Amino acid sequence: MKTIFSFAAAGLIIAGLVASQTLKAQTVRGCIADTALNKKMYLCYNPERGGNRYDGDEKRVKADAKGAFSVSVDNLGKMDFCPAYLVLADGSEWDFFLQKGKDINISAKRDAKGQLSLDYQGTNADASRCLRDYEKAYAFTDFFAYPGKQPKIAPEKRESTLDKRYQTLADAIKKIKNDSLRCFMTQINEDRHDNYLCRLLPKNNTRRNRALKEIDAVGPNNWIGLYNNIPQSFIREHMDTTVHAQWGGDQTTYGLEYLRVMKKYITNPYVKHRLLIDCAMETIDYGKDFKNIDDFWKPFAEYATDDSVVIAAYGKKVAAMKQTRPGMKAKDFSFEDAQGNQHRLSELRGKVVYIDVWATWCGPCKREIPYLAKRVEEYKGNDKVMFISISVDENREAWLKMIGNDKPQWAQYHVSEDQNEALSDAYGITAIPRFMVIKADGTIGDSDAFRPSDTDFHKKLDLFL
């Protein structure tokens, strides 16, 4: 039976998450002696209610010679506690709770098979262990696959494995001493279980339909559901399905339909904020070839008038879209090579330029690299086109290390923080990877172009040659 937290029932959680201004910061301490793991660590968290884990704050964590580290967190905003994770140098992520006025100690160990595990001590360490196990239990690639890959769990075992992991977590969560954390963990465990069931099971499956009803019962205004995209799923389930046919093209009607459902159902300000971001991202970032972007943007901006963060973020994107239509003169920008020499886009005029904007930390970016390498090889000897990759890494050394190891056979460049801001503002880059085609005469061919993995890559690029 699904446990549903209405706002009345969740008063315990709401109260537990509203911070007293007198509470002190939390200190995260630990010791990870393995230099292969501690040489580069980051503490990541999002202090917004229901905030995306990858859109929050990041702090560099530096260990001493013995692997000991200590970092203070004092900007949880209105949150008394929020999910966080520690990123180790091997790329692994280890989740725990930050809580105002409560310290936590982290330790690392390996089992007999050499498998790494992090453990926690301190106030509410039991909840942090559950959050750690929750993220591991629902590892996306165990149940689902990225293009060209297969899930780790065999098809016939996915549903039963999901159920087993859910129940193991549910049993552990019941033992959490802190009421607010226990309620929070209970809901996100049930939400993730239902979310995955809806993805795994075929349409009209009885169990899938039951899971959809439970998601509906949680309701679109329960902000804890944002951690598992429950409000987003609710919106899509209530949209006119015919608008999905526009995906990848002019998505004005899609965006307006999203807004219609939001206006009808959404009352919670935290949920509204996250859904406005989702609506703008899906409409603007994934749409293209808009006849008139203002047909979407004006009603969107009117509805989002009180959300200055969303308006500022996507207002720049919309302004850039209006100035980067095909045939318009490409705005010039600068970048540097591995030796530190400065270059400009205008220097490349005379050839069609296919531009890849990426970063070493971006998984989707890196998944496109093998395809890009293949395209470079296929166009080898063609003097009409050139390929360049521009890294937006804040850590220039990470970029140098990667291209040094991989030795890509096409031009590699990097932008500083100021150069990145100028590039992003000029071309409305709000997410990566981003690909662009600049024609030989210096005008824009496509400012939000097809990916290297596109099966029609040759057909689309050759139109500009």
**Measured distance CA(424)–CA(299) in Å, rounded:** 24
Q: For the chain, give the percent of residues with pLDDT over 90.
A: 73
Tally of residues, the chain: 465
Convert 291-330 to b/e letters by CB count within 10 Å (16 or more is b).
eebeebbebbbeebeebeebbeebebbbebbeebeeeeeb
pLDDT digits (tens, 9 = 90+) for 100-116: 888 899 999 888 888 89
> How confident is the model over 53-80, as pLDDT tens digits?
888 888 999 999 999 999 988 777 777 8
Question: What's the mean pLDDT in 400-416?
Answer: 96
329 SS3 class: strand
pLDDT at 9 > cutoff 50: no
pLDDT tens digits along 231-274: 998 898 899 999 988 888 899 999 999 999 999 999 999 999 99
CA 63 to chain CA centroid, nearest Å: 27
- Cβ neighbors of 243 (< 8 A, separation 6 or more) are 251, 253, 254, 257
Helix (H, G, I), strand (E, B) or coil at 414: strand
| Architecture per CATH, 329-464 | 3-Layer(aba) Sandwich (3.40)
CA pair distance 328, 322, nearest whole angstrom? 10
- pLDDT-based confidence at 385, cuts 50/70/90? very high
Say which amino acid occupies 346.
Answer: S
Give CA–CA dist 412/422, Å, rounded. Answer: 19
Q: State how far the alpha carbon of 77 is from the alpha carbons of 14, 42, 45, 57, 357, in Å.
A: 14, 20, 12, 12, 33
Q: Which helix (H) or strand (E) holds 140?
A: helix 140-143
pLDDT in tens, 199-222: 999 989 999 999 988 888 888 999
CA–CA dist 24, 316 (Å, integer): 37
pLDDT of residue 83: 94
* pLDDT at residue 26 greater than cutoff 90: no
Mean pLDDT (the chain) is 90
pLDDT at position 25 is 65
Domains 26-123 and 329-464 share a fold: no
Amino acid identity for residue 465 in this structure: L
**Domain spans of the chain?**
26-123, 126-229, 239-324, 329-464
- Which run of H or E residues covers position 182? helix 179-200
pLDDT at 245: 87
Q: Any residues with CB less than 8 A from the CB of 459 and at least 6 apart, and which?
A: none
**What does DSSP assign to residue 399?**
H
Question: Which of 2-11, 273-282, 438-447, 456-465 is the least confident region?
Answer: 2-11
Q: What pairing do the DSSP bridges indicate for beta strands 41-45 and 81-87?
A: antiparallel
Of the candidates 37, 45, 164, the one whose C-alpha atom is nearest the C-alpha of residue 100 is 45
Strand order in the sheet with 68-73: 68-73, 26-31, 104-110, 116-122
**Could you please report the per-residue DSSP string of 359-398?**
-TT-HHHHHHHHHHHHHHHHTTT-TTEEEEEEE--S-HHH
pLDDT digits (tens, 9 = 90+) for 156-187: 999 999 999 999 999 999 999 999 999 999 99
pLDDT at 18: 35
**170 class by beta-carbon count within 10 Å (0-12 exposed, 13-18 middle, 19+ buried):** middle
CATH fold for domain 26-123: Immunoglobulin-like (2.60.40)
Residue 13 has pLDDT above 80, yes or no: no
Residues 6+ apart with CB under 8 A from 216: 234, 237
Residue 430 pLDDT level (bands cut at 50, 70, 90): confident
Cβ contacts of residue 156 below 8 Å, gap of 6+?
A: none
Residues of 390-405 as b/e, b for ≥16 C-beta within 10 angstroms?
Answer: bbbbeeeeebbebbee
Which residue do the tokens 């024609």 mark? Answer: 439
Taking residue 61's Cβ as centre, other Cβ atoms within 10 Å add up to 20
